[in-house]
Chain A
Amino acid sequence: MGIDRREFIRIAGLSTLLGLGGKGAFELLAPGRVEAEIIPATGSKKAKRWAMVINQKKLDDNTAQQCSAACHRVHNVPDFVNPPDDKLKLNPAVAQRYEVKWLWTEHFHNAFPGDAPAHMAEKVEHMPFLVLCNHCANPPCVRVCPTKATFQREDGIVMMDMHRCIGCRFCMAGCPYGSRSFNWRDPRPYVKEQYPGYPTREIGVVEKCTFCAERLAQGLQPACVEVSRGAIVFGDLEDEKSEVREYLRKYFTIRRKAHLGTNPQVYYIV
Chain B
Amino acid sequence: MADYKNEFGLFAERPKVEKKLFDRNKVIAGLVIFIVMITIPLWQNLGKIVAAPVPSLDTPVIKKLAEKDKKCVMPKEWMRANHMQMLVDWRDNVVRTKEPNVTISRGREFVAPDGKQYLASLTNTCMECHSNKVEFCDKCHNYAAIAPNCWGCHLETGKKMAEAK
Chain B 87-111 interface mask (CB, 8 Å, partner A; 1/0):
0011101011110000011111111
Which residues of chain A from 31 to 55 have a CB within 8 Å of any chain B CB? Answer: 33, 35-42, 44
Report how far A195 CA is from B164 CA in the complex, Å: 14
Check A159 against B95 for contact (C-beta < 8 Å): yes
A162 at the interface (CB under 8 A from B): yes
Check B123 against A199 for contact (C-beta < 8 Å): yes
Chain A positions within 8 Å of B153 at CB level: 162, 199-202
Comparing B2-10, B42-50, B155-163, the segment that makes contact with chain A is B155-163
Check B155 against A196 for contact (C-beta < 8 Å): yes
Chain A positions within 8 Å of B149 at CB level: 202
B62 at the interface (CB under 8 A from A): no
Check A35 against B95 for contact (C-beta < 8 Å): no
Which of A39, A154, A161, A202 has the most B CB atoms < 10 Å from its CB? A39
Please, how many residues of chain A have a CB less than 8 angstroms from a CB on the other chain? 26
Check A36 against B112 for contact (C-beta < 8 Å): yes
A38-B74 CB under 8 A given contacts A153-B97, A196-B157, A200-B153: no
Check B106 against A196 for contact (C-beta < 8 Å): no
Report how far A41 CA is from B93 CA in the complex, Å: 12
B120 at the interface (CB under 8 A from A): yes
The 8 Å CB contact of B111, one of A36, A161, A194, is A36
B41 at the interface (CB under 8 A from A): no
Check B109 against A41 for contact (C-beta < 8 Å): yes
A163 at the interface (CB under 8 A from B): yes
Report how far A163 CA is from B150 CA in the complex, Å: 9
Indicate the size class of the contact surface on chain B: 35 or more
B15 at the interface (CB under 8 A from A): no
Which residues of chain A from 2 to 41 have a CB within 8 Å of any chain B CB? Answer: 33, 35-41
Chain A positions within 8 Å of B159 at CB level: 196-197
Report how far A217 CA is from B124 CA in the complex, Å: 14
A194-B155 CB under 8 A given contacts A37-B111, A41-B107: yes
Check A197 against B162 for contact (C-beta < 8 Å): yes
Chain A positions within 8 Å of B89 at CB level: 38
Check A197 against B124 for contact (C-beta < 8 Å): yes
Chain B positions within 8 Å of A151 at CB level: 96
Report how far A93 CA is from B1 CA in the complex, Å: 79
Check A197 against B158 for contact (C-beta < 8 Å): yes
Chain B 133-165 interface mask (CB, 8 Å, partner A; 1/0):
000000000000000010011110111011000
The 8 Å CB contact of B95, one of A36, A154, A163, A200, is A163
Listed from nearest, the 10 A-B pairs whose CB atoms lie closest are: A197-B159, A40-B107, A196-B162, A199-B153, A202-B152, A38-B93, A41-B108, A199-B154, A37-B104, A41-B109
Known: A38-B90, A199-B153; 20 extra A-B contacts, CB below 8 A, are A33-B111, A36-B73, A36-B74, A38-B106, A38-B107, A38-B108, A41-B108, A41-B109, A151-B96, A154-B97, A159-B96, A162-B153, A194-B155, A196-B159, A196-B162, A197-B159, A197-B162, A199-B154, A202-B153, A217-B108
